[in-house]
Amino acid sequence: MYIPESIQANEDYQACITFHGHTCMGVTIGYQAAKLAMKLLGEMRAVDEELIVIVENDACCCDAIQVLTGCTFGKGNFFYRDHGKMAFTFGSRTSGQGVRLLLKPTIFQIPEREKVLAEKIGAHQATVAEKQEYQQIYEARGEEFFSGGPEAFFDVEHIEDMNLPPKAPRVPSLACYVCGEMVMQTKLTEVEGHLVCRGCLA
């Protein structure tokens, strides 16, 4: 989908793009999700683990969510559920409230006329007028969708008294009996009286 200049010009959008490495619709969906969730929860970016997020996919959108919410892979407040859904649950450790955002399927529904024109362009059979018409439809659809704000992108489910995941644990390390490398104690398995890491067990 066309991403309007009014979105791309935002400094925090550009911070997401810098982190992700390139502009794409995926990262823009994450941007909209993070903006909406923080507004609904009345929260700022997490310095530590004040906010949590549960992402149900590992697509581009997750990068904007990391940048904007401060729920990052390395901080222990970013949880991945491998469900293959464009859904994101945000929770506040301050209020105990949460919100689950599910991307509306309409966001990727392309109007018939736009499809026909895109196919013609792809097959190098479009006239100049048809190319212009395509561009006009494509841009207008994007402008219209984005004009609804982040709210236009998601179905929202509010969660009262959210069952928040525990904070990131701090665990001392011991040497694996086989490879000698240091390993978090919780990831070692006892084999015939010796502690062995997952790499050596495999």
Site residues for a copy of itself per CB under 8 A: 19-22, 26-27, 30, 45-48, 56-67, 70, 72-76, 78, 80-87, 102-103, 105, 168, 171, 173, 175, 181-188, 197-199
| C-beta closer to a copy of itself: residue 77 or 117 | 77
| C-beta closer to a copy of itself: residue 86 or 117 | 86
Cα–Cα distance between 142 and 187 in angstroms, integer? 47
Contact 88, 101 (CB under 8 A): yes
| C-beta closer to a copy of itself: residue 51 or 126 | 51
b/e code 153-175 from CB counts within 10 Å (16+ = b): bbeeeeeeebeeeeeeeeeeeee
Least CB distance from residue 80 to a copy of itself, whole Å?
Answer: 8
Least CB distance from residue 144 to a copy of itself, whole Å?
Answer: 21
Least CB distance from residue 122 to a copy of itself, whole Å?
Answer: 17
Least CB distance from residue 61 to a copy of itself, whole Å?
Answer: 6
Contact 195, 179 (CB under 8 A): no
| C-beta closer to a copy of itself: residue 38 or 46 | 46
| C-beta closer to a copy of itself: residue 143 or 187 | 187
Least CB distance from residue 5 to a copy of itself, whole Å?
Answer: 22
Least CB distance from residue 55 to a copy of itself, whole Å?
Answer: 8
| C-beta closer to a copy of itself: residue 101 or 126 | 101
Q: Give Cβ neighbours of residue 112 (< 8 Å, ≥ 6 apart).
A: none
Cα–Cα distance between 52 and 76 in angstroms, integer? 8
Cα–Cα distance between 52 and 71 in angstroms, integer? 6
Is 66 exposed, middle or buried, given 0-12, 13-18 or 19+ CB atoms closer than 10 A? buried
E strand or H helix that includes residue 191 = strand 189-191
